[in-house]
């Protein structure tokens, strides 16, 4: 079994889900008392969020690059970055290490294509929804992307940072997100990408009448496949 290096803390709420899912999947595959070989480097999200909000992405990349380097030195065979937004600087992070990084959007694209879906609605932080780093990665895989409008994006961003990142699951916010998902369907979305690792804490497959792609779950599954060398 390969050693998984996890960069987490963005937020720790979703990082805890990654840890649970990865260990459950390893046990499902191997049985008995098996669990994952993994290392978790959890950053202080306040520091990262401050760099996000001030546009100092390079400084955030330096922090995460140092985390990745520490994981490599500790024995990690590959890295997963347990957040969607910070994949904006994945190339800068990769400069700090010689081991591979498993990209969350590429993992999502494999699952989307497997269902024959060519257009998805993207939910995430405002950075993920508004900037091209994530949308272009999906488009490179032949998947068209639609996003909510400006006011909706701001509301979703507030739900993520003010509620989900601090463990608050509000029914009103779930209903709001369900309305957004229906709106995205009218814009041509055949499926919905939960492009923030916290959104899966709020929205589940049963809440929608189109396929939902929970990127935290998908990313964790791909990490397990790589750790066990499953094609």
Helix (H) / strand (E) element for 126: namely: helix 126-130
End-to-end CA distance of the chain: 14
Residues making up the chain, counted from first to last: 231
Question: What strands lie across the sheet with 119-123, from one edge to the other?
Answer: 144-146, 119-123, 191-194, 212-214
- Cα Rg of the chain (Å, integer): 17
Query: What would the two tokens of residue 17 be?
Result: 């889900």
Pick the catalytic residue from 82, 165, 196, 208. 196
What are residue 5's DSSP bridge partners? 39, 79
Pick the catalytic residue from 38, 82, 83, 215. 83
Chain CA centroid to CA 73, Å: 24
User: Catalytic: 196?
Assistant: yes
Distance CA(186)–CA(196), nearest Å, equals 22
Q: Sign of the CA dihedral 85, 69, 220, 38?
A: negative
Phi, psi of 118 (to 5 degrees): -115, -10
Distance CA(228)–CA(104), nearest Å, equals 18
Q: Which residues are catalytic?
A: 83, 196
């Amino acid at each position: 079994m390969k050693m998984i290096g996890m960069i987490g803390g963005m937020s720790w709420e979703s990082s805890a889900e990654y840890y649970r899912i990865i260990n459950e999947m390893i046990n499902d595959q191997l049985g008995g008392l098996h669990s994952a070989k993994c290392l978790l480097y959890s950053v202080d999200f306040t520091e990262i969020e401050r760099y996000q909000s001030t546009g100092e992405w390079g400084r955030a990349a330096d922090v995460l690059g140092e985390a990745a380097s520490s994981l490599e030195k500790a024995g990690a065979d590959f890295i997963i970055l347990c957040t969607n937004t910070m994949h904006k600087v994945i190339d800068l992070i990769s400069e700090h290490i010689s081991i591979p990084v498993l990209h969350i959007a590429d993992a999502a694209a494999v699952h989307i294509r497997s269902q024959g879906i060519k257009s998805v609605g993207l939910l995430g932080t405002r950075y993920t929804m508004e900037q091209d780093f994530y949308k272009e990665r999906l488009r490179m895989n032949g998947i068209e992307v639609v996003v909510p409008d400006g006011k909706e994006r701001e509301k979703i961003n507030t739900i993520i940072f003010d509620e989900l990142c601090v463990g608050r699951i509000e029914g009103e916010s779930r209903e709001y997100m369900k309305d957004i998902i229906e709106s995205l369907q009218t814009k041509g979305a055949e499926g919905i990408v939960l492009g923030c690792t916290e959104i899966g804490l709020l929205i589940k497959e049963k809440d929608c009448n189109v396929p939902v792609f929970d990127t935290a779950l998908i990313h964790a599954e791909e990490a397990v496949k790589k750790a066990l060398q499953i094609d």
